Copies of this chain bind each other. A is one copy, B any other.
């Protein structure tokens, strides 16, 4: 069982990619996998969850904080870094088991060999704390300065986000105190340094930050080690005095020492892995890729709070504005439900908290109920722009419709809340906010639907399905089905409350004045049009008129590309008028409502849509893998599983949409990989409380084993070539 991700050479062109690949974090903050001597030009950043700022009318996004880990070497007056000198040897590692980032670099220099070894972790034990051990060794005697401190040259996509950055010293610590532009949120970074060799320490500060210069007359073959403790707090933390807290944390850490801090951190990781690790035997590549995916799910989740959720690019930076998308509910939630119910609850609570924002959005568009943000930040108001992509040919912003037409977002959230309630069996999810969200989502859809008198049915017009390459379509099968489901659970929800929590029911009905809409929803549900499989072919048309689009192959579409960064969607994109789709759409419907469609229908639609799918979204391959497993084609599913699980390991994903940078990690793919392993290959299903597996292991796999929690009890799953077992432990 492998726990190590490793790169054994240094490649300048992979600096940004490795920043994602070697990410560490703890849900409160993420630290990109960059070298200690890197700064903003290498996209070094410590990204803070849930703290947003807008600067100068640009896109609102999460903030990155000054980098307390910055450390570089100055040997005989010249900086020695990966950016100034080619290394003789270089290794970058991620120890998944302990959430530990490691680097080792050797340079042959005119002053002899010089090596740097560093390890660091973003603590799981104290979410505000980051610790580093940094050692340097010289072959020959050398006059050297270790420059280390807080680098305030912050990498931003739409920054700068701090209207001020005060730096200074306090006792033995140095600090940067920053205040955001828009909401005047204070962000505090404290750094404390320890070392036990003779050196002359000077503190220097400039516009670049505040640094310690540790001058050493280094002797040959002695290891000089420094220990850095950095704490980050912000004024949304619910802590009275964040300066005192930040100062205290680094002092305490320094007092306990690196090993103790690490031990506390490692203990938390052990707890996490105990429940969430999955072992695959017979396929090392799949084994490590899946473990790596789970690692990512662990470092980005708000274990500690229900005030934030998970951004689409996790904590790897500001891509997509650090906003929360439907990814969380549809691709991430299952992992947390099965391994970390409290975090699952937190994710759901975040949507309850942002209900007011969803109401405002519905109202803004002339609807009632809750129209959730396509890109949700702390208030639930939509951070999504009407112009999300730039036209590469004209440089002009392109009108996109993610925000106003991708209405399935409200259905996704309702779906997730109901799933959480059903899985956890916890009434409080419905009673304490869940029902209100579900009903308001249903009300939104009621106010959205139209009645087509001439066809005697309700229709859902002018939407974008999950396939974003086809804009403003009518009766998208997935969307219509999800809306139907929302109506269905809204009625169930109301019934449940009425029967079991009569007082709460009456209070809620009064509060949101819902009785008429309950009738409306019930009536519309009976007559809502949902595209069905064609009687002859079995194919479900993705939306009205999809079949009339040009039948062009992916290869043909690719040949039409004029600019590698051009957007495939939009009104004039190369996919827009063809049958080429961005991602699983009908397929996602067949997965989510799998019990309502026959194996034949699934298989036919898979074969029809699969060659047409570009997988321009990392949310797509896992769904094709899941449906392939359901139709007994797990080997087809295997390739998609590997694509999903490997996405951040290989770094082979789209870096641009139009001319907008969209790089970063892909949590939804990580969640999708987990889903494929658990629901696809192991075939884990829970129906009416009965837990079963129906294994469909890929050929190579000898064994697949994992555990999960269901209604407070831990289960083990063990699948071999010959049998599949699931049992309570």
Contacts and interface: CB of A to CB of B under 8 A. Distances in A.
Number of copies: 2
Contacts of A453: 446, 449-451, 520, 524
Interface in A438-497: 446-447, 449-454, 459, 461-462, 472, 474
Interface stretch (A9-17, A39-47, A391-399, A406-414): A391-399
A462 B459 contact: no
A576 interface: yes
Contacts of A399: 571-572, 576-577
A396 B559 CA distance: 13
A667 interface: no
Interface in A567-618: 570-572, 576-577
B447 A454 contact: yes
Given A396-B572, A571-B571, A577-B399, A461 B450 contact: yes
A454 B365 CA distance: 14
A453 B472 CA distance: 21
A503 to B, nearest CB: 29
A562 B394 contact: yes
Contacts of A394: 393, 562, 572
A451 B454 contact: no
A368 interface: yes
Interface string A380-416: 0000001000010110101100000000000000000
Contact of A368 (B366, B454, B520): B454
A115 to B, nearest CB: 53
A451 B454 CA distance: 10
A571 B367 CA distance: 24
A474 B448 CA distance: 13
A393 B395 CA distance: 11
Interface in A664-711: none
Contacts of A461: 450, 461-462
B459 A450 contact: yes
A453 B457 CA distance: 12
A571 B386 CA distance: 13
Contacts of A472: 472
A572 to B, nearest CB: 6
Contacts of A398: 571-572
A420 to B, nearest CB: 29
A614 to B, nearest CB: 18
Contacts of A449: 453
B454 A446 contact: yes
Given A393-B393, A447-B454, A453-B520, 10 more contacts: A367-B454, A386-B577, A394-B562, A394-B572, A446-B453, A450-B450, A450-B451, A461-B461, A461-B462, A571-B572
6 contacts: A368-B454, A393-B393, A447-B454, A450-B450, A450-B452, A571-B572
Closest 10 CB pairs of A and B: A571-B571, A450-B450, A393-B393, A451-B451, A447-B454, A399-B577, A398-B572, A451-B453, A393-B394, A394-B562
